[in-house]
Chains A and B, each alone.
Chain A
Amino acid sequence: MRTYIIRRLAQMVPVFLGIMLILFLLLQLAPGGPTGMLMDPRMSAEQKQELAEKYGENKPFYEKFISWMADAAKGNFGNSITHKKPVVEVIKDFIGNTFLLAIVSLLVGLFIGVPIGIVSATKQYSAVDYGTTIFSLIGVSLPAFFFGLLLLKIFAVELPWFPIFGLTNPLLRKADWIVRAIDKAHHLVLPVTVLGLTQAASFMRYTRSSMLEVIRQDYVRTARAKGLRDKVVIYKHAFRNAMIPIITLLGFSIPGLISGALMTETIFSLPGLGKISVEAVGQRNYPLILGINAMLSIVTLLSALIADLLYATADPRIRYD
């Protein structure tokens, strides 16, 4: 196990370098540059040139790549051009909010999706099964954009129960932490509903189909024949094996925890990394694009490893030694 992990970690280094190289090439090919965003009608071409020089835009490609990698290895990701502060600090500003929203939604999704999936698999073709299948189909196909606006219209405008925008009420910033926690939760209800329900729908569908497959296996029949209670058969024997695809799905969700949910963030005016990343691309804010993507690549690579390791735990037949 240990050698396997070390080998996998060692493999990540060239993969990561490859990702960054491709990203650098793509950015190089993208027209325009960050200083274009500082354009002011009164600035002369010469002054623009000088700024481009100061931001290191005119250096050759390989030089930019090498110096970026060297700085990044030391933990220095440069300054965000629009924010005029270090990339690490900009990411720090947003990653907490993004993570909070994502983790809560993921838990809501798991909580609702997995159990419903199990129930609807064990009671295949029942009213419950049809009901939840329809629900999950709606959940999977409903765009976050539309669902979010709908929720806002009903629960924030018509019935003014929830705030329309933001994550906190700044006027409560000096209140007790409990008041602030409730305030934050209050702001999170609608976005979590949107993200959580769509995730629940996909978890449900994966669980259901995976369970259906497992239930028909011989060992499940054997377990039943042994006279085990249905609950034990389903939750102890069948579910454990049915979890493999869910683990895969979870592995894919981990990078999503920090990459942000652009649509949901946009609709609910939430401060998250999704919106920042898209903005950074539009503004050709190269240091920020590189910083966010470097972080995402590392997390994606790591979560793939974690998912692989979890397979072994869920299914003892899988061994990495």
Chain B
Amino acid sequence: MTTKKILMLLLALVMIFSLVACGPGKDDPQKTDPSAPAATGDSTEPDSAQTEAPKAKDNILKIGGSGYDGVFNPIMSSNVYDAYVCDLIFEALVQLDKEGNYIPMLATWEVSEDKKTYTFTLKDGIKFSDGTPLTAEDVAFTYRTIADPKYDGPRAYAVDGMVGYDEYHKGTSAEFAGIEVKDEKTIAFTFKEAVVSNIENFGYGILSKEYYAFGDNFDTFKELIGKPMGSGPMLLEDFAPKQHILLETNKEYWDTARVPKIDGVLISEVTEETILAALESGQIDHAQPQTNKDNLDKINEMPNVTAVPFLGNGYTFMCFETTTPPFDQKEVRQAMLYALNRKEFIKAEYKSEELASVGMAPLSPTSWAFPDEGLNPYDFDLNKANELLDKAGWEMKEDGFRYKDGEKLTVRWLVYTESTWTQTLSGLAADTWKQIGVDLIIDLMDFNTVAEKTMDADPAERPKNFDVYTMGFSLSVDPDLKGALFDADAGEKGGFNASGFRDEHVQELIAKGRTTFDQAERVKIYAELAKILNDEVATAIVAYRYELWAVNNRVKNLDVSTYLKWTAFIHDIELTD
């Protein structure tokens, strides 16, 4: 009986809605509720627009973008967006300058004679935002947490090179031998190997030992991910997932001379489709739209916004499976590159030569290690490609394809569909490679699938899975190649080098490059490495891409570049008008 009554009520509601609505012009309270501002739009809209405008004069820097997951912890975050927020709330021992050199942030440092020990001395008066002083114990706590057996974040590589890591991580030792707190302000880290890029491990924000203490239960640590507390110039004021992150300036910031001049930062979730409109209307001050000529042109047309394109610290690459035919021969790999018009690709994909350039060396052109000359750009040349294939023994048959030992020259290229460039590139190859007798099969799939069939596959499975795949790669600041795309030791399942290529001289040079501390000497090593890799092309660098950022003209002292993003200027940014 009661159920029936409820059902009747429900039905009656539906009927009432339809009946009420059918009498036009009558009072429809339900409907006016959501659309009230629309109906009275003409009178209230300018008002609310004005209440928003003075808020802007309120001195808040407004950032637009998407991808923020809300992991506000410098040792747990795994995307660059959350890292921006961490950079404002937390401070690290060291930071980068414009040229990509490490300079002091919270501490100055000295390196021992054997280059294995880094001794940091904290600056005076550093305080967390809760007023407690930041000491060497907090630094030690941060790095011990990363090494903790219970730690499940992505930062283990920052500490795994330190003396005593394995013992501490496996729980066989309660002490982390490589970390030594000397006094309240001094802490020493000792590494197993003297490697130049060890300094990169000190760019992560320092956590308060007291606030983040987790004892035996790592969940208590993770619960604080949404309630960050650090020594940085900003405080998290409000976070609405996929909507906005509001940060307020820490008025009690320890470095009183460098308290930010703005009142706060508002990061809003804005999708790619509308980000230019939001920039133009002034609803956001700073954003990174997708890099292409259309966006660049549109920004250049906006009177209130300036485009800032700069070379990104990374490249796109094309990896050949080199353990089996056809790409076990260098000539065949080179032929593929000669038969790929990458200048045309850049024009097609980015519509501008200002936004990408043809790749040659596995280093960023912004790096001091990038060689000035001696690299082959593999300019588009079908004759040369044909010559190389002839020389390698692949003969052209009447059907227009090449054969060797009865095998057709078939190439399977794995292309992921999440971004457009791999599709553009393989599309061009479908045309030009055919002209040199290659039977190209393009396999479209999602990014995870490409990864699973290449890097995350067992090395024995790889030859069956692919001949070529393409991806993007971002670099750290140091040119060290260890563990990445060109290191044969990173060829196991889950390693980054799926090419199967191994050259002992390359391995020696990689090892030498990372342990040589004299920069002039390193320039020579990396020039030689780049030259060999450019000739072997087991993995070819497709292009260097630009990042495109846009800044509203009301923002002063914001000068983003390859190594410095907006967060680096937080102390100096001023807003006008």
Binding site for B on A (CB under 8 A): 1-2, 5, 30-33, 36-45, 47-51, 54-55, 82-85, 90, 93-94, 104, 107-108, 110-112, 114-115, 118-119, 149, 152-153, 156-157, 160-173, 182-183, 185-186, 188-189, 192-193, 235, 239, 243, 246, 250, 266-272, 275-276, 282, 284, 309-310, 312-314
Binary per-residue interface labels of chain B (279-292) against chain A in the complex, 1 for a CB within 8 Å, 0 otherwise: 01101000000000
Return B472 CB to nearest CB of chain A, in Å.
11
- Give min CB distance, B289 to chain A, whole Å: 14
| Neighbouring B residues of A239 by C-beta, 8 Å | 15, 18
A193 to B452, CA, bound (A): 42
Q: Is B214 interfacial (CB 8 A cutoff)?
A: no
Residues of B within 8 A of A310 (CB): 7, 10-11
Q: Does B71 contact A (CB under 8 A)?
A: yes
Report yes or no: A32 in contact with B451, Cβ–Cβ below 8 A. Answer: yes
Q: How far is the CA of A173 from the CA of B446 in the complex (A)?
A: 40
* A112 to chain B: closest residue by CB: B21
Whether A189 pairs with B160 at a CB distance below 8 angstroms is no
Q: How far apart sit A168 and B153, CA to CA, in the bound complex (Å)?
A: 32
A104, A111, A182, A193: which contacts B37 (Cβ < 8 A)?
Answer: A182
Whether A182 contacts B242 in the complex (CB less than 8 A), given A40-B157, A51-B152, A55-B152, comes out as no
Task: Tell me which of A31, A47, A54 contacts B157 (CB under 8 A).
Answer: A47
Contact with A along B386-417 (1 / 0, CB 8 A): 00000000000000000000000000000000
Residues of B close to A168: CB separation below 8 A? 240, 243-244
Please tell me if the beta carbons of B71 and A110 are within 8 angstroms of each other in the complex. Answer: no
**In chain B, what residue has the closest Cβ to A189?**
B38
Q: Which of B10, B18, B49, B456 contacts A110 (CB 8 A)?
A: B18
Selected from A112, A185, A266, A312, the residue in CB contact (under 8 A) with B34 is A185
Give the CA-CA distance A243 to B20 in the complex, in Å. 16
- The reply to whether the CB of B420 lies closer than 8 angstroms to some CB of chain A is no
Q: In the assembled complex, which residues on chain B have CB atoms less than 8 Å from the CB atom of A314?
A: 11
- Closest chain-B Cβ to A241's Cβ sits at a distance in Å of 13
Task: Number of B interface residues at 8 Å Cβ cutoff, please give it.
Answer: 92
Whole-angstrom CA separation of A166 from B240 in the bound complex? 10
> Beyond A2-B3, A164-B277, A168-B240, is A271–B14 a contact (Cβ under 8 Å)?
no
Would you call B449 and A32 a contact (CB within 8 A)?
yes
Given A84-B225, A163-B283, A173 contacting B238 (CB threshold 8 A): yes
Q: List 22 A-B contacts (CB under 8 A).
A: A31-B452, A39-B451, A43-B157, A44-B160, A45-B495, A49-B494, A104-B33, A110-B17, A111-B17, A111-B20, A111-B21, A156-B277, A164-B274, A164-B278, A166-B243, A168-B244, A169-B52, A171-B55, A188-B34, A193-B38, A235-B19, A271-B242
A85 B452 Cβ-Cβ under 8 A: no
CB-CB under 8 A for A157 and B280, given A31-B448, A38-B78, A51-B154: yes
The reply to whether the CB of B512 lies closer than 8 angstroms to some CB of chain A is no
Contact of A111 among B31, B160, B278, B456 (CB under 8 A): B31
Are B270 and A111 interface neighbours, CB within 8 A? no
A residues near B268, Cβ cutoff 8 Å: 165-166, 170, 269
B8 interfacial by beta-carbon distance below 8 Å: yes
Does any Cβ of A come within 8 Å of B171's Cβ?
no
Asked if A189 meets B35 with Cβ closer than 8 Å, knowing A2-B3, A160-B49, A266-B273, the reply is yes
Q: In the complex, are the beta carbons of B266 and A185 less than 8 A apart?
A: no
Which B residues fall within an 8 A CB radius of A? 3-4, 7-8, 10-11, 14-15, 17-22, 28, 30-31, 33-38, 41, 44-45, 48-49, 51-52, 55, 58, 60, 64, 66, 69-71, 76, 78, 152-158, 160, 222, 225-226, 238, 240-244, 246, 266, 268-271, 273-274, 277-278, 280-281, 283, 418, 445-449, 451-453, 456, 473-476, 483-484, 490, 492-496
* Complex Cα spacing A88 to B158, Å: 32
Q: Is the CB of A37 within 8 A of B78?
A: yes
- State whether A40 and B270 are in contact (beta carbons under 8 Å apart), knowing that A94-B242, A284-B448 are contacts in the complex: no
* A112 CB, nearest partner CB in chain B, Å: 7
Q: Which residues of chain B are within 8 angstroms of A104 by Cβ–Cβ distance?
A: 33-34
Q: Is the interface of A mostly helix, strand, loop or mixed?
A: helix
Known: A166-B268, A185-B36, A239-B15. 10 other contacts (CB 8 A): A31-B448, A44-B495, A107-B17, A108-B34, A111-B17, A118-B18, A165-B64, A171-B266, A271-B240, A309-B3
| B7 with A309: CB separation less than 8 A | yes
Taking CB as reference atom, which chain A residue is nearest B242? A271
Q: Are A165 and B278 in contact (CB under 8 A)?
A: yes
Which of chain B's residues have a CB closer than 8 A to the CB of A165?
64, 268-271, 274, 278, 283
**Do A42 and B476 touch (CB < 8 A)?**
yes
Tell whether A84 pairs with B269 under 8 Å between CB atoms, given A166-B243, A182-B36, A182-B37.
Answer: no
In the complex, which residues of chain A have a beta carbon less than 8 angstroms from the beta carbon of B280?
Answer: 157
CB distance A267 to B31 under 8 Å?
A: no
Contact B448 A267 (CB under 8 A): no
Instruction: Point out the residues of chain A lying under 8 angstroms from B266, CB to CB.
Output: 170-171
Shortest distance in angstroms between A31's beta carbon and chain B's nearest beta carbon? 4
Determine which residue in A185, A193, A314 has the highest number of CB atoms from chain B within 10 A of its CB, and name it: A185
User: Measured between alpha carbons, how far is A1 from B5 in the docked complex, in Å?
Assistant: 12
Q: How far is A153 from B281 in the complex, measured between Cα atoms in Å? A: 11
Q: Are B69 and A149 in contact (CB under 8 A)?
A: no
Residues of chain A lying within 8 A (CB to CB) of residue B14: 110, 243, 246, 250
Contact: A271 with B78, CB < 8 Å?
A: no
Cα–Cα, bound, A243→B14 (Å): 10
| Residues of the A chain whose Cβ atoms lie less than 8 Å from the Cβ of B240 | 93, 168, 170, 271
Q: Identify the interface centre among B3, B225, B242, B448: most chain A CB within 10 Å of its CB.
A: B242
For the complex formed, measure the closest distance between the CB of A33 and the CB atoms of chain B, giving whole angstroms.
8
The answer to whether B69 and A82 have CB atoms under 8 Å apart is: yes
Whose C-beta in chain A lies nearest to the C-beta of B269? A269
Quick check: B243 and A186 within 8 Å, CB to CB?
Answer: no
B60 x A83 contact (CB < 8 A): no
